[in-house]
Structure 1
Amino acid sequence: MKVVFLTLLCGLVGAAQETPAEIDPSKIPGEWRTIYAAADNKDKIVEGGPLRNYYRRVECINDCESLSITFYLKDDGTCLLLTEVAKRKEGYVYVIQFDGTNTLEVIHVSENMLVTYVENYDGERITKMTEGLAKGTSFTQEELQKYQQLNSERGVPNENIENVIETDNCPP
């Protein structure tokens, strides 16, 4: 009986620790820059990769029922400015059509940092990726550690982190 009780107690404690932090929607809108991206399929996020995005702005539409995302994509070194609208599925999980079907979840937001988790299905494979955005052009050491922690929690290898800001030469 003690074993059953301890198993139940450990399960409850573990579940309580995995409860995601509440997202404050008022912190989502604004000017954001992509600092880092990581993916389990690194080819998608390397320079010239189809999911290498250079964020500029995120706006909430109708109390964040949709997100308007403005970003640059490079095509043979030329910066193409795009705006896509992601539609809310549930919570802070959105669906957006871009290089396949993407399920995008806002998993962390603070005054200066926003992290998204994306599952991209290109018709053949699901790629798990994160994007770490900042209000400025860098992360503090603590923000980088938080980003790495979030990658680990989502099964995205930290050794696949790309420093996106280093190749961001698109207009502000």
Structure 2
Amino acid sequence: MKAVFLTLLLGLVCAAQEAPAQPESSEITAKWYTIYMAADHKEKIEEGGPLRTYFRQLECIDSCEKMSITFILTNYDSCTLITVVAQRAEENVYHVDYMGKNSVQLIPASESMLVFYAENFDGEKTTKVTYALGKGDSLSQEDIQKYEEINNERGIPNENTEDGSNTDNCPK
């Protein structure tokens, strides 16, 4: 009898677990700018690093089955505008090839902040990276705290955070 009860209880607990909600198209499609970026391998987002990117726009395509991502890649004094299209693989995960293989997840943190989380595999190692995206050039203290919590949950040290709002010298 205890086994039946435990099985039923486990089933109820599993049913109560919700997968992260897929952001709505209206939450994604907009001009977004990199306010902060962080990575577990910080060299990837430092000046001249392959994942030091400054976002410009996200756009849902085909009911968010695809996502257009426009950003600027910087290499010291040069700014290169790049657009890639990510394909949704699972409910809230997209895949795109850029500087390796990437799994991407969008995390709406507030009305003014969207966190872009990616795991980049460059052929040798996987780098976890987050970008705190805002519609302006700053975030509230609450948004910054939420961003730090998201980094902690993913094993990204907050001391590896770079301020993108002060280093984005590329045309908006």
Q: Is the 8 A contact 1:47 1:167 kept in 2?
A: no
- Output the CA distance in 1 between the equivalents of 2:157 and 2:15: 23
In 2, distance between residues paired with 1:119 and 1:143?
22
Name the structure 2 match of 1:79: 79
CA distance in 1, matches of 2:70, 2:50: 16
Distance 2:17 2:38 in 1: 24
Q: Which residue of structure 1 aligns with residue 170 of structure 2?
A: 170
Instruction: State yes or no: 1:62 paired with 2:62.
Output: yes
The one-letter amino acid paired with 2:146 is K
Letter in 2 for 1:167: T
Greater Cα shift, 71-80 or 43-52 = 71-80
| SS across alignment from 2:130 | strand
Quote the Cα distance in structure 1 between the aligned partners of 2:37 and 2:15. Answer: 28
Using the size of structure 2 for normalisation, the TM-score is 0.87
Q: CA deviation at 1:108?
A: 2.3
- 1:23, CA displacement in angstroms? 2.6
The match for 1:158 is 158
1:117 and 2:117 aligned? yes
State the AA in 1 paired with 2:155: G
- Tell me how far apart the structure 2 counterparts of residues 80 and 155 of structure 1 sit (CA, whole Å): 30
Cα pair 1:119 1:128 within 8 Å, conserved:
yes
Gaps in structure 2 of 5+ consecutive residues: none
State the shift of 1:158 in Å: 1.0
Paired with 1:149 and 1:69, the residues of 2 have a C-alpha distance of 24
What percent of counterpart residues are identical? 55
Rounded to whole Å, the distance in 1 between the matches of 2:26 and 2:147 is 20
Give the AA of the match of 2:90. Answer: E
Aligned CA-pair RMSD: 2.5
Q: Residues 47 and 76 of structure 2 are in contact (CA less than 8 Å); yes or no, is this contact kept in structure 1?
A: no
Alignment-derived partner of residue 128 in structure 1? 128
2:51 equivalent in structure 1: 51
Find the residue that maps to 1:166 and give its secondary structure: coil
Structure 1 unaligned residues grouped into runs of 5+ = none
